[in-house]
Amino acid sequence: MISAFRLWCAALLLATGFAVPAGAADIFTVRGIHVDKTAESATAARAAAQAEGQRLALTAMMRKLTLPEDWPSLPDVDEATAQNAVRGFQVANERTSSTRYIAEMIVSFQPEAVRRLLRGKNIAFAETQARPALLLPVLHRDGQVILWEDDNPWRGAWAALEPGNEMTPLILPIGELMEINAVPAATALASGEESLAALTGLAANYGASEIVIAEAAPSETGLRVMLTRRGGVGATEPLTGSYERQGREMGEVMKAAAADMLSSLSTQWKRQIIVRDGRISTIVVQADFANLTEWESIRKGLTSTPLVQGMEVAGISSRGAEIRISHKGTTEMLALSLAQQSVDLSKAEAAGMDAAAEPFTPVSSAPRWRLAVRR
């Protein structure tokens, strides 16, 4: 029974974008924009629908990067504004008649055009996407705990989402027999080092280091949900939500709850990473690396982190470098942002920076931080 479900699930993952990402998604792309227009001809309906889709996508793009309290202040989007910001778009699932056009759109935007619109309204925004996390949807039902079983509608609710649309992408594991045996539902919910080791081992198979446990408990009146993050960088509070049935089928309640919790997860992340103070700070860091590959990974991490405004290599040897980094936000925000690029930033204690530990003679005597490839 499970094998048939796995085949269906694998196909759905590929179709919906829940497949394992090779790297961070393009945050200036939005997916799943539904358009439905009627006009005097199919050609006119298509043109109107695609223009509307671009407008809707630009608003969704700005909401994606900003916090909910700033959404009322977002700039109005007209057809010209949207078209000037669009980099390109794709359509799927097209259906047409002589006067009607229906489709789903994927729209990509020019990053600087989006930044300009938000800066024009003095709205702070995020550009650092969290690393993909492994999602385990656990359902409490009739005194049992369900995770991998075929009849887990909570898993199906998450599988139907577009996780690439958020700043906190999630990976839903396919659930092969080895995975089921390694992480049964009880292990997913357990605390302690043994449980965490099993979870991180499963996550590593998908190129992730963090796990999101999504628990759902249905009742006659509604659904209670809690999301807990494990194995990530920095402590975060669990997210909770209660959703009333209000005459809906439980499957519909679960879909609405999953979408809301994914949005809440993204908002929680943006609160950690958004910088409202535009001032630039400078820190001096010591980059430690064992070889050229690690040095290139550190350099790539720095240049790929939006908070980094500039970097200057003050000294370098075969196993280390001293770098001055100009950045926005706090050092804690910078460390969190760099961690998404697999680079660790930590305070270098003066007592621990002896000659044996240092691969080169420091250029400055200023307090320094350490950079290293995250392992």
Write down the pTM of the prediction: 0.82
- The CATH number assigned to the domain holding 200 equals 3.40.50
Q: Would the pLDDT of 6 be above 50?
A: no
Residue 348, Cβ neighbours under 10 Å: how many?
18
237 in the same domain as 147: yes
Q: What pLDDT, on a 0 to 100 scale, did the predictor assign at position 175?
A: 87
Q: What sign results for the dihedral spanned by CA atoms 160, 165, 167, 173?
A: positive
Domain of residue 290: give its range. Answer: 280-373
240 in the same domain as 143: yes
The pLDDT confidence band at residue 375, using thresholds 50, 70 and 90, is: confident
pLDDT in tens, 183-230: 999 999 998 889 999 999 999 999 998 999 999 999 999 999 999 999
47 in the same domain as 155: no
- The CATH number assigned to the domain holding 341 equals 3.30.70
Given 120, 152, 168, the domain boundary residue is 120
Q: What pLDDT, on a 0 to 100 scale, did the predictor assign at position 185?
A: 92
Q: Which residues pair with 325 in a beta bridge?
A: 283, 311
314 in the same domain as 266: no
161 in the same domain as 17: yes
HEC profile of the chain: CHHHHHHHHHHHHHHHCCCCCCCCCCCCEEEEEEEEEECCCHHHHHHHHHHHHHHHHHHHHHHHHCCHHHHHHCCCCCHHHHHHHEEEEEEEEEEECCCEEEEEEEEEECHHHHHHHHHHCCCCCCCCCCCCEEEEEEEEECCEEECCCCCCHHHHHHHCCCHHHCCCCEECCCCCHHHHHHCCHHHHHCCCHHHHHHHHHHHHCCCCCCEEEEEEEECCCEEEEEEEEECCCCCCCCEEEEEECCCCCHHHHHHHHHHHHHHHHHHHHHHHHCCCCCCEEEEEEEEECCCHHHHHHHHHHHHCCCCEEEEEEEEECCCEEEEEEEEECCHHHHHHHHHCCCEEEEECCHHHCCCCCCCCCCCCCCCEEEEEECC
240 in the same domain as 173: yes
Q: Would the pLDDT of 355 be above 50?
A: no
pLDDT in tens, 12-52: 333 333 333 334 468 999 998 999 999 999 999 999 999 99
115 in the same domain as 239: no
41 in the same domain as 134: no
Q: Would the pLDDT of 364 be above 80?
A: no
Phi, psi of 156 (to 5 degrees): -65, -35
Given 74, 92, 120, the domain boundary residue is 120
pLDDT in tens, 230-288: 987 766 789 999 999 999 999 999 999 999 999 999 999 999 999 888 789 999 999 99
Q: What pLDDT, on a 0 to 100 scale, did the predictor assign at position 161?
A: 87
Given 212, 239, 273, the domain boundary residue is 273
Domain count within the chain: 3
pLDDT in tens, 117-166: 999 999 999 999 999 999 999 999 989 999 999 889 999 999 988 765 78
208 in the same domain as 98: no
The pLDDT confidence band at residue 363, using thresholds 50, 70 and 90, is: low
195 in the same domain as 221: yes
- The CATH number assigned to the domain holding 89 equals 3.10.28
332 in the same domain as 235: no
334 in the same domain as 234: no
Phi, psi of 198 (to 5 degrees): -65, -40
